[in-house]
Structure 1
Amino acid sequence: MADSFATRAQLDVNGKSYTYSSLAKLGERFELARLPYSMKILLENLLRHEDGGMTVGPEHIEAVATWDAKAEPDTEIAFMPARVVLQDFTGVPCVVDLAAMRDAVTRLGGSASQINPLIPSELVIDHSVQVDVFGRPDALDLNGKIEFERNAERYSFLRWGQKAFGNFKVVPPNTGIVHQVNLENLARVVMERDVDGERWAFPDTVFGTDSHTTMINGIGVLGWGVGGIEAEAAMLGQPSSMLIPQVVGFRLTGKLPEGATATDLVLTVTQMLRKHGVVGKFVEFFGEGLPHLPLADRATIANMAPEYGATCGIFPIDAEALNYLRLSGRSEHQIALVEAYAKAQGLWHDADSPHATYSATLALDLGEVKPSLAGPKRPQDRVLLQDVQVNFAENLGPLVAHRKPRTGCAVEELKAEGGAQPQAEHLAAKPKSKIRIRDQEAELGDGSVVIAAITSCTNTSNPAVMLGAGLLARNAVAKGLKAAPWVKTSLGPGSLVVTDYLKKAGVLDDLEQLGFYVVGYGCTTCIGNSGPLPDEVSKGIAENELVVASVLSGNRNFEGRVHPEVKANYLASPPLVVAYAIAGTVDIDLTRDPLGHDAAGNPVYLRDIWPSNKEIGDTIAATVGPELFAQNYADVFKGDSRWNRIESPEGESYAWDAASTYIKNPPYFDGMTMQVGSIDDIHGARVLGLFGDSITTDHISPAGNIKKDSPAGRYLQERGVQPADFNSYGSRRGNDDVMVRGTFANIRIKNLMFGGEEGGNTLYFGATPPEKLAIYDAAMRYKADGVPLVVVAGKEYGTGSSRDWAAKGTNLLGVKAVIAESFERIHRSNLVGMGVLPLQFLDGQNAASLGLDGSETFDIAGLRDGASKSVTVTATRADGTTRAFEAKVLLLTPKEVEYFRHGGLLQYVLRQLAAHKAA
């Protein structure tokens, strides 16, 4: 370990001595006080990993120490996280890849034991539970039973991995959501590790295979979501190449007003930062408002960094962070270490802390935050509570355009009442479907709330909104209110701790009386594991093609994500989820219309049952304590009897089962040799998909239900799997044969070759006339023809969750390049890691302006083995005419070029390890 700037120092904490790389010593040469908190963490990381210039040299350290806040990022550095955290949807394919790499490295002359995590790697099983059973006392037990039956193969595989790999631990099901477990238990804030006989202290930094890993930024831990392949590389000791980022400062002042929640705050912040533009940047929160912002509120804001587009959204270490560490049961020595280290390194924040220099600064007075939701299909589309009814009416038009128009519809009525001017002048008739459910006659219409879910890591980590929901439920029950019978209600707490404090506060019973029984400890509805709607509701929706709604306390509401039958999806705080379950519709103004009526027939308004901030605060103080965390995390890796009964194979190498439809040895390393390839031009490529703006990883990567008539559904049925046992795409991410068939198969994706038609289809131009096929089927025909493929898209391609399968599936379909107007950070990186070339249209150009319709063949020339920053793309039409244009090559760093020559990041790592063994 090199130390060019002589920064090595000693820190004594309670009689224990630690070595550390001192920023104060480096500050004798450079002015570091002006650096943002997050840049200081990057700087320490470089100091500690300096290796004589092979990966980190003095020039990299100096580049960060002299950081220019206004400069466009152009300097590459290598960042090495202290640990990796995974959830099971993304974690299973990671472990599958590691198992496959053990086989591959052996074939290349290495040994299986070389493939082993070198840093702490912890997987939390939280994405597999589905809401099959709800609204009854045994929902948790029955959903857990179904979960284990569905996922026995996956869980057996993970138990093998837990035994086979060192530095790898698994948190079993029914414990909590990965980000909350990370916050409440796994995070160290300051790490300690023995290196060459010395005990080192350094900042806790983390890569996670879920984009909402950023939630840990709330307690001062720098980390962000990465693709599975980047996580695997980090686990194997490979640093991640990144450009020194810009840092946007976000100043918070004041305090939240009565009636406003952390959810309302984060939706406001998300809208502001999306408007400003922070893609690829760090965001750092500071200001006089921090002391008024509890740690849980900070975590809520940090969680949604992917929604506002930033790499991270970080808060500094301060007294509130220490309070939370103590509350969550960390040891007094750990708390002392965090405080001493933070103060020694200039990472501590208080009223006297110097102001950092930022690339840009935004400001928000917390007192101006108002009750809000976001929707109906993007998390950044905030709408005030008072405007939700009009918002729904505005968005309804395009969704019911096939219905016969008539005047006098809801939009005209809202206009007459002074509502906002809607985009659609006429809406179709608003039919009603009469159903009988729970022994009641009911009526479904457009806007009926059919799913009300308290779900997702964003909010279920926050006692203020969770206890707020419970207190609102108590007040509603006291007024005689009930949830509408057609609403599928669910409560998915972020951890066992949440259930305990809801019980301790006496409000879990009230939530249950409104149908909010605990259904499981996992992501559930937010990831699309909402389970089936009651048959009566599904039939009612289909009968009149109703546009029904969900209201969930999640962070994602993209098209087709929550439930395939639900087209309008609103993100809301847990108390508002309960309120909308009672109202039964989003076609209502909760600020002035009654939720329902009490036993005497009197109207009950939301304001009548909303708990005060003082009541919520007093309840938190009386119920949330360290003993709850201590008892629930005492044996966090042990699991229950179901987990411990699962049998799993033994041995360093995994015994693959050829009959398994869950776990399969992937083909990425088939035929691989030690010979490194080159980056060649692409000739005669066909367009697999022509897409517009905001194509998300939800559109690309398989997620949610598997349709029985889809390519994946047919594949499973051919292997004897009945539709009732399909499970979800997420649960089958360890089987590439299933996943590649579901890539680009989202029911809401629109291939512009077919205008506005929804569904994962394309035109196969190998037939005359061109044949309409499922994207997978067309891709396999092109592969048989020896024809390479490209994808053409608009702005913000690949936004959403950090789904490695969005890149893996693209690769396995035979796509060689994606040409888009702009890319989301993680997905662009994942494409590079899987050997798919990301190209960007020049500013002002896109498929429409260039006259491209997807029928052309494409030649991409001028790559020069990765040395070129731009290429010439020539599109040849059927009549022989051509259109040539320039595109930017988004291989952003020398390391990415090297990965690409190897065919991908994992192939690079394998060759490095095999060569090291051979040497």
Structure 2
Amino acid sequence: MKRVGQDTLKVSRFLEVDGKTYWYFSLSEAEKTLGSLKHLPHTLKILLENILRFENGHTFTIDHAKSLVKWQDHFHSSSEVPFRPSRILMQDLTGVPAVVDLAAMREGMMTLKGDPQKVNPLIPVDLVIDHSVMVDYAGSSKAFQENITLEFIRNAERYAFLRWGQKAFQEFFVVPPDTGICHQINLEYIAKVVWTKDEEDHTYAYPDTLFGTDSHTTMVNGLGVLGWGVGGIEAEAAMLGQATTMLLPDVIGFRLTGKLSGTVTATDLVLTITEMLRKKGVVGKFVEFYGPALNSLPLSTRATIANMAPEYGATCGYFPVDRQTLDYLRLTGKTEHQIELVEAYMKAQGMFRDVYSPEPMFTDTLQLDISTVVPSVSGPSRPQDRVALVDAQVAFEKVLTNTFHIPEQEHHAIYKVQDETFSLEHGSIVIAAITSCTNTSNTEVMIAAGLLAKKAHALGLQKKPWVKTSLAPGSKVVTEYLERAGLIESLNSLGFNLVGYGCTTCIGNSGPLAENIVDIIESNQLVVSAVLSGNRNFEGRISPNVKANYLASPPLVVAYALVGTLKKDIIKEPLGISKEGKAIYLKDIWPTPQEVASTIAVAVTKEEFRKGYNQITKGSKEWQSLSVTVGSQTYDWLDESTYVRNPPYFKNISLLPVPRKHIKGASILALLGDNVTTDHISPAGAIREDSPAGKYLTDHGVSVEAFNSYGARRGNHEVMVRGTFANIRIRNEMVPEIEGGYTKHYPSNKVNTMYDVAMLYQKENIPLIIIGGKEYGMGSSRDWAAKGTNLLGIKAVIVESFERIHRSNLVGMGILPLVFEEGTTRKTLALKGDEKIDIENTDKLNPRQKLNMLIRYSDGFIRKVPLICRIDTQEEVDYYQHGGILPYVLRSMAQ
């Protein structure tokens, strides 16, 4: 046993694994000083180990460790603790702007007369290119290669830039496109559960933890790896050595008992859990699963549940390490040495769960007997809006009336599609997609979808001709085991051909619908539908032509493609007629648990995983043929580029920050309601020709066909600032008669796009604010939702409550996040948007202090309103004073 330093809890011990010695920072030794950790949640044990390992008397201290253990006194704490993840995970939509920022920081370092080589990741960074493939082609054997060809035509410049980054930066690894989804690759390949590092004379073992620049980073929580989604801004700071300071979270225990019934899938379970936790309210909290059901709950089901933590609002959805974890590591091809290390380390630290483990104590608990879960879907626009499958038809009819305001007499009107033999109506399903990391990582539901397709094909059933079908697995392993199981041909026969390996429909990359189908939808304002096996179904996200989006399990996606409408009870009514003329019902082709299990036993093996990841870094011939300039410390920015441009964040940066001023005479750019998502603030989908971003691209010689998406253009701040608040479904209460990104300029009273009005205010040197409702910024951890807000000239965002990641991102971009006191809203203040706003004392901030807002109404009345500053920690105060986290880090490095 080795004691490091004086007056410290940093006590290291060692363990032997197969003849190799690993040192670790012992929780049991720290327990002798701190007190019992027996009932501390596993997630907090991981945070405690992090404090012990990095303890330095300054950023990480004994007091931090004591406050964490003291959490057990009330199962709640207002204390702050630091945290440094072991690694960073990125996808390309967030990864490109992060690498742009790093390249810009190198130039900023040169401006400050520092060494640009200091700007390098200090911990491993894995970037998986998975968000750029679009479903332009579907339903044919050529679709996969055709989509890849288009993908490289659109994104060659971005991809070449990432290859430059891989060469230019240390500890930066890129997984080429058309390989898989970052979260599934993380789960199946990158994650180790226990990480190791050689330091001086020892090899140290410690928990595998991470930040990911995508909210669904939480999927790896199912493997016992603690990680969560952060904005690219926060991830960049972490990779540059900055600790993240966080308020000690409440930990909600979710006790699972029982077993799933034969007709219920992991998707049904996660939709039920999402509904329950959203009702409970777990925003900003950890959720930790426990209970006897875990003894038999497969790892793939755990990963499905953990994946949707952003949908139920939690920071993470954690499952502790146990035998199921070890079995999954073995299945996915990890070495026996690594598996033995995981078991030995977790047991030594009291982090291994078995039937004899004491149950942790939590802030609060929920319980679910999973045998009570029923088949379900969720929609039409929120993942938590679960509907039992038996009620889905009736529920959709109500949605037509109550949500989309379609008169009942129009519910069943039929509209003939030009040049086709079929017609469309409200509720017609025009997209059926097996997509997204949530379910394509789950072997049970993917095999079930294949088996259902096989039975349907054998009976002669076909998908409806108006349904665009697609299969986008999360890794090549999926196609390997579907092929081995003999299910690929059946899926292909129903139009579920491989379209790509990536986050396609779920991120809005569903591709175009047929022109005659779009014409009939638009000319008759039809409420048509998409059914997808994803995790996100927000309005305006899946397709600009589709208003009602429903989440469902992969086998249900296939079943809905057969019926082609949501206005059919697919439990009671036949899915179709067999070639023998017999009515076929869902129960006739639904695979039994035994069929699924026996197929998995034969088809899903260690060899499939090893084969799928054998040449993960090689990439396609298109990737290998990219031309890349190597060897330069800084990037050679191209003036004509419309994809990658040098952002203005570090232009004329000084070694000392410019003091922040009071916010005076600010205008309101937008009055927004509840549940404004990062999709509303910074869309990732199609760029409209008549939008400010579309006009910018047209002015720069880009044809409409080459616009690509907002997500693909995130390396160009000129496009992204024009896309901020440009979602076609956003509603600004200042212009209630208009849907989309519009606002009103005062005092002229002229209506224009948010971007154009913001630029007019900038010319007038008038600061801006945004005012909103509850859960502002929910959804993907999209840093451009904060970056674009900054570039529009918005100085503060005032709402009733924030989603965790977006609040952090706003601070990271030097924007003041403020919340109303309980009972105060934009409505109780009777705000119209023509008021002028002052916010006092913003130059001398303390965490969570109260500030006063002065509202100057148009009739001359002045009202003082108290606000709570949601800059939560002293380090965030420092970030704000420096104008953001990246200028703060850059100045620190330069000094």
Same fold at TM > 0.5: yes
Per-residue CA deviation, residues 69-121 of structure 1 (Å, 9 max, x unaligned), is 64544111110000000000000000000000011011112111100011010
Q: Does 1:454 align with 2:431?
A: no
1:399 Cα offset (Å): 5.4
Residue in structure 1 matched with residue 857 of structure 2 by the alignment:
877
> Which of the numbers 182, 191, 194 marks the counterpart of 1:178?
182
Mapped to 2, the partners of 1:87 and 1:241 lie a distance apart of: 24
Residue in structure 2 matched with residue 662 of structure 1 by the alignment:
643
Number of equivalent positions: 888
Per-residue CA deviation, residues 530-554 of structure 1 (Å, 9 max, x unaligned), is 0000112111212311100000000
1:603 Cα offset (Å): 1.3
> Which of the numbers 258, 262, 267 marks the counterpart of 1:258?
262
- AA in 1 matched with 2:878: E
User: Do 1:399 and 1:547's aligned partners in 2 also have CA atoms closer than 8 Å?
Assistant: no
> Which of the numbers 676, 691, 696 marks the counterpart of 2:672?
691
Q: Does 1:484 align with 2:460?
A: no
Matches within 5 A, 1:398-409: 398=402, 400-401=404-405, 405=407, 409=408
Mapped to 1, the partners of 2:555 and 2:283 lie a distance apart of: 31
1:195 Cα offset (Å): 2.1
> Which of the numbers 830, 835, 842 marks the counterpart of 1:851?
830
Matches within 5 A, 1:143-162: 143-162=147-166
Residue in structure 1 matched with residue 752 of structure 2 by the alignment:
773
SS in structure 2 of the partner of residue 191 of structure 1: strand
Residue in structure 1 matched with residue 813 of structure 2 by the alignment:
834
Per-residue CA deviation, residues 541-572 of structure 1 (Å, 9 max, x unaligned), is 12311100000000000010000110000000
Instruction: Point out the more displaced range, 11-20 or 501-510.
Output: 11-20
Mapped to 2, the partners of 1:571 and 1:322 lie a distance apart of: 31
Residue in structure 2 matched with residue 803 of structure 1 by the alignment:
782
- AA in 2 matched with 1:508: I
Q: Does 1:303 align with 2:319?
A: no
- AA in 2 matched with 1:314: Y
Matches within 5 A, 1:366-405: 366-398=370-402, 400-401=404-405, 405=407
Mapped to 2, the partners of 1:392 and 1:357 lie a distance apart of: 41
1:757 Cα offset (Å): 2.9
- Cα RMSD for the two superposed structures: 1.2
User: Do 1:397 and 1:428's aligned partners in 2 also have CA atoms closer than 8 Å?
Assistant: no
Mapped to 2, the partners of 1:445 and 1:83 lie a distance apart of: 49
> Which of the numbers 11, 14, 29 marks the counterpart of 1:7?
11
User: Do 1:477 and 1:510's aligned partners in 2 also have CA atoms closer than 8 Å?
Assistant: yes
Q: Does 1:761 align with 2:742?
A: yes
SS in structure 2 of the partner of residue 543 of structure 1: helix
Per-residue CA deviation, residues 597-639 of structure 1 (Å, 9 max, x unaligned), is 1123321111111000111011111100111111221221121
Matches within 5 A, 1:348-359: 348-359=352-363
Mapped to 1, the partners of 2:391 and 2:411 lie a distance apart of: 22
Mapped to 2, the partners of 1:581 and 1:897 lie a distance apart of: 52
Instruction: Point out the more displaced range, 782-791 or 194-203.
Output: 194-203
Per-residue CA deviation, residues 458-489 of structure 1 (Å, 9 max, x unaligned), is 00000100000000001111111100000000
Residue in structure 1 matched with residue 88 of structure 2 by the alignment:
84
Q: Runs of 5+ in structure 2 lacking a partner?
A: none
Instruction: Point out the more displaced range, 392-401 or 880-889.
Output: 392-401
Per-residue CA deviation, residues 390-411 of structure 1 (Å, 9 max, x unaligned), is 111111125553x6x4xxx4xx
- AA in 1 matched with 2:413: P
Report the TM-score, using the length of structure 1 for normalisation.
0.95
**Aligned pair in 2 of structure 1 residues 280, 429: CA closer, same or farther (>3 Å)?**
closer
User: Do 2:267 and 2:552's aligned partners in 1 also have CA atoms closer than 8 Å?
Assistant: yes
SS in structure 2 of the partner of residue 665 of structure 1: coil
Mapped to 2, the partners of 1:673 and 1:2 lie a distance apart of: 38
Matches within 5 A, 1:396-475: 396-398=400-402, 400-401=404-405, 405=407, 409=408, 428=410, 430-435=412-417, 441-475=421-455
SS in structure 2 of the partner of residue 380 of structure 1: coil
Instruction: Point out the more displaced range, 193-202 or 308-317.
Output: 193-202
Per-residue CA deviation, residues 563-588 of structure 1 (Å, 9 max, x unaligned), is 01100000000000000000000111
- AA in 2 matched with 1:793: G
- AA in 1 matched with 2:793: G
Where in structure 1 do 4 or more consecutive aligned residues deviate above 4 Å? none
Residue in structure 2 matched with residue 537 of structure 1 by the alignment:
517
- AA in 1 matched with 2:687: I
SS in structure 2 of the partner of residue 283 of structure 1: strand
User: Do 2:659 and 2:843's aligned partners in 1 also have CA atoms closer than 8 Å?
Assistant: no
Q: Does 1:647 align with 2:652?
A: no
Q: Does 1:294 align with 2:276?
A: no
Mapped to 1, the partners of 2:144 and 2:252 lie a distance apart of: 42
Percent of aligned pairs with the same residue? 55
1:677 Cα offset (Å): 3.3
User: Do 1:2 and 1:50's aligned partners in 2 also have CA atoms closer than 8 Å?
Assistant: no
Mapped to 2, the partners of 1:795 and 1:801 lie a distance apart of: 16
Per-residue CA deviation, residues 770-822 of structure 1 (Å, 9 max, x unaligned), is 10010000000000100000000000000000000000000000000000000
User: Do 1:432 and 1:544's aligned partners in 2 also have CA atoms closer than 8 Å?
Assistant: no
User: Do 2:10 and 2:52's aligned partners in 1 also have CA atoms closer than 8 Å?
Assistant: no
Mapped to 1, the partners of 2:411 and 2:264 lie a distance apart of: 36
Residue in structure 2 matched with residue 40 of structure 1 by the alignment:
45
Per-residue CA deviation, residues 504-536 of structure 1 (Å, 9 max, x unaligned), is 111110011000000000000000000000112
Mapped to 1, the partners of 2:861 and 2:69 lie a distance apart of: 53
> Which of the numbers 581, 596, 616 marks the counterpart of 1:636?
616
Mapped to 2, the partners of 1:914 and 1:59 lie a distance apart of: 30
> Which of the numbers 821, 825, 832 marks the counterpart of 2:804?
825
**Aligned pair in 2 of structure 1 residues 245, 2: CA closer, same or farther (>3 Å)?**
farther
User: Do 2:111 and 2:653's aligned partners in 1 also have CA atoms closer than 8 Å?
Assistant: no
Residue in structure 2 matched with residue 58 of structure 1 by the alignment:
62
User: Do 1:863 and 1:870's aligned partners in 2 also have CA atoms closer than 8 Å?
Assistant: no
Mapped to 2, the partners of 1:344 and 1:110 lie a distance apart of: 44
Residue in structure 2 matched with residue 49 of structure 1 by the alignment:
54
1:494 Cα offset (Å): 0.8
> Which of the numbers 700, 703, 722 marks the counterpart of 2:681?
700
> Which of the numbers 107, 111, 115 marks the counterpart of 1:111?
115
Mapped to 2, the partners of 1:618 and 1:196 lie a distance apart of: 50
Mapped to 2, the partners of 1:69 and 1:485 lie a distance apart of: 62
- AA in 2 matched with 1:268: T
1:360 Cα offset (Å): 0.6
SS in structure 2 of the partner of residue 151 of structure 1: helix
1:311 Cα offset (Å): 0.3
Residue in structure 1 matched with residue 772 of structure 2 by the alignment:
793
Matches within 5 A, 1:515-594: 515-594=495-574
> Which of the numbers 335, 340, 345 marks the counterpart of 1:341?
345
Q: Does 1:198 align with 2:202?
A: yes
Mapped to 2, the partners of 1:673 and 1:524 lie a distance apart of: 42
1:675 Cα offset (Å): 1.2
SS in structure 1 of the partner of residue 71 of structure 2: coil
Per-residue CA deviation, residues 250-307 of structure 1 (Å, 9 max, x unaligned), is 1111111010000000000001111111111100011100122110000000000000
User: Do 1:557 and 1:571's aligned partners in 2 also have CA atoms closer than 8 Å?
Assistant: yes
**Aligned pair in 2 of structure 1 residues 71, 854: CA closer, same or farther (>3 Å)?**
farther
- AA in 2 matched with 1:431: A
- AA in 2 matched with 1:712: A
Q: Does 1:709 align with 2:690?
A: yes
- AA in 1 matched with 2:858: A
SS in structure 2 of the partner of residue 28 of structure 1: helix
Residue in structure 2 matched with residue 727 of structure 1 by the alignment:
708
- AA in 2 matched with 1:371: P
Q: Does 1:892 align with 2:872?
A: yes
Residue in structure 2 matched with residue 412 of structure 1 by the alignment:
none
1:2 Cα offset (Å): 5.1
User: Do 2:776 and 2:801's aligned partners in 1 also have CA atoms closer than 8 Å?
Assistant: yes
> Which of the numbers 841, 849, 860 marks the counterpart of 2:839?
860
> Which of the numbers 488, 491, 509 marks the counterpart of 2:489?
509
Residue in structure 2 matched with residue 678 of structure 1 by the alignment:
659
User: Do 1:70 and 1:246's aligned partners in 2 also have CA atoms closer than 8 Å?
Assistant: no
- AA in 1 matched with 2:707: F
